[in-house]
A = this chain, B = another copy of it.
Amino acid sequence: MTREIRLTSEQIVESSWIASRPILVDSGACVCFVGSVRGTEHGAPILGILYEAYDAMAQHQFHKILDQIESRWPIQSIRLVHRIGRVCAGQPSIVVEVTSTHRAEAFEACQFLIEEMKQRVPIWKQPLL
């Protein structure tokens, strides 16, 4: 399984992201998740979100989740980019891409990665008012 995990303070440009997708033989299914900052929190408008991470630990925990995925599903590639710092409302804060031969495992692994991230990966957010 090829893997790429990136925490970045730079804007995520989806078209560049797609252009850099690895070329895989016989990958029939690619599931992408794009999470964006919503303009409201608990009903009140916000300007954006400030993301903070414990970088080294976040990387390590992401890789542990990928190890679990690799042992559970026949996945060909996983790429993930997560924004750190200020992210304006409407902008993507995370993109996950899971590629496999068939679609069922790509959907499962993608959701598993996001769920596990929300439990274990040390990233925090704070609304920007």
Q: Which listed segment binds B: A31-39, A50-58, A67-75?
A: A31-39
Dominant SS at the A interface?
mixed
Indicate the size class of the contact surface on chain A: 20 to 34
Contact of A34 among B15, B19, B32, B35 (CB under 8 A): B32
Could you show 27 A-B contacts with beta carbons less than 8 Å apart? A15-B18, A15-B19, A25-B39, A26-B38, A26-B40, A27-B36, A27-B38, A28-B35, A28-B36, A28-B37, A28-B38, A29-B33, A29-B34, A30-B32, A30-B34, A30-B35, A31-B31, A31-B32, A31-B34, A32-B32, A32-B33, A32-B34, A33-B107, A35-B103, A38-B101, A107-B110, A107-B111
